[in-house]
Amino acid sequence: MSRATPPLPLRRAGRTGLQLPAITLGLWQNFGEATPFTDQRALVLAAVDAGVVHLDLANNYGPPPGAAEESVGRLLASDLRPYRDQLLLATKAGYRQWPGPYGEFGSRKYLLASLDQSLRRLGTDYVDVFYSHRYDPDTPLEETLGALKTAVDSGKALYAGISSYSAERTAQALAVADRIGLTLSLHQPSYSMLNRWIERPGEDGRSLLDVVGEAGMGVVAFSPLAQGMLSTKYLHGVPEDSRAATGSSLQADYLSEENLAHVRALNEVAGDLGVSLPQLAIAWVLRDQRISSVTLGARTPAQLAENLASTQLSALSEGDLARIEEHAVDAGINLWGARSSEL
């Protein structure tokens, strides 16, 4: 692995021994069968070469489900084979991966079967992090977290984490984990200038950031560009090949005139600072030291390189943050809320 750009900053993941690159490569988008493997390979190798050694997966990433893990498995068997111990591989289970009653949610049967399938697709004996992808109100936390403990105790995962759990559910999970002897090391929530739910206080007055900070968990924030709303592609309409136009993860009704007015204002702030809107959005999420890493998707190595440059920017001043605060408002775009963080 060569290094032609400044080294990517490392940030401690809570009170764990993990140091994560400030940017994580998310393989949720652009790693399905519709994307040529040559393009996937070019992006992953460019990321790793730049120091993005944390690759974020889930059992359902594709499409079809499992395709992203299979692609990474091909790379681990070839280009990345010498670097396995330098890579941090994370995968998750919680959303639907196969038909029937045991193909989703938080049961022990599903989680452990899914992990075994993920390991086969990846062609490796272990993943570095295994997450419960969403809170399951119909399965006791003791069962879900007990499955994570089995994964860690067996050596099939080195660290355990949870994703999209609310502040209240995270506090409950931490209590159960302590009772059964499991360390929850990482939390993966969505977070952006237009999706600030992790800052809102829960019933006990603590936000999710407060809960994980007090517990010493690392935070790997995903969707910092708000499913693309904080890119520049929607400033002048909806492109035909965009997520909003194709009806994928970004719903067209999110692009209300009110929301777009905030996006345009934030773009003006970015321009005044001499950076792109995506760079500003990433730097804003990283302003909080409780954020260990930001998970980014990308279509091309060039797009990834632009976003990586955000880690080299000067810290945002109080004046900059005050201008941003006027337009960094919740836009009702938390895709995952009704399925986990609001339960």
pLDDT digits (tens, 9 = 90+) for 196-212: 999 999 889 999 999 99
Residues composing the chain: 343
Coil vs helix vs strand at 222: strand
CA 78 to chain CA centroid, nearest Å:
25
Give tens-digit pLDDT for 117-148: 999 999 999 999 999 999 999 999 999 999 99
Is 280 a domain residue? yes
Write down the residue that tokens 């022990």 correspond to.
Answer: 108
Q: Which of 269, 279, 266, 285 is nearest to 312 (CA)?
A: 279
Is 2 a domain residue? no
- Which residue type is seen at 73? G
CA 53 to chain CA centroid, nearest Å:
14
Beta carbons within 8 Å of 23's beta carbon, 6+ residues apart: 8, 52, 282, 293, 294, 296, 307, 308, 310, 311
Is 5 a domain residue? no
- Over range 159-167, report the average pLDDT: 98
8 Å CB contact between 331 and 226:
yes
Give tens-digit pLDDT for 14-27: 999 999 999 999 99
Q: What pTM was estimated for this model as a whole?
A: 0.94
Is 4 a domain residue? no
Distances, alpha carbon 202 to alpha carbons 166, 169, 187, 280, 329, in Å: 8, 10, 17, 28, 18
* Domain at 253, CATH number: 3.20.20.100
Is 169 a domain residue? yes
Is 3 a domain residue? no
Which residues make beta-bridge pairs with 55?
25, 89
Is 173 a domain residue? yes
Give tens-digit pLDDT for 251-297: 777 888 889 999 999 999 999 999 999 999 999 999 999 999 999 99
Which residues make beta-bridge pairs with 221?
294
Q: Please report which confidence band the pLDDT of residue 2 belongs to, taking 50, 70 and 90 as the band edges.
A: very low
Distances, alpha carbon 130 to alpha carbons 2, 28, 59, in Å: 29, 16, 11
Q: State how many domains the chain has.
A: 1
Is 300 a domain residue? yes
Domain limits for position 203 = 10-339
Cα Rg of the chain (Å, integer): 19
Give tens-digit pLDDT for 38-97: 999 999 999 999 999 999 999 999 999 999 999 999 999 999 999 999 999 999 999 999
How many helices (H) and strands (E) in the chain? 11, 10
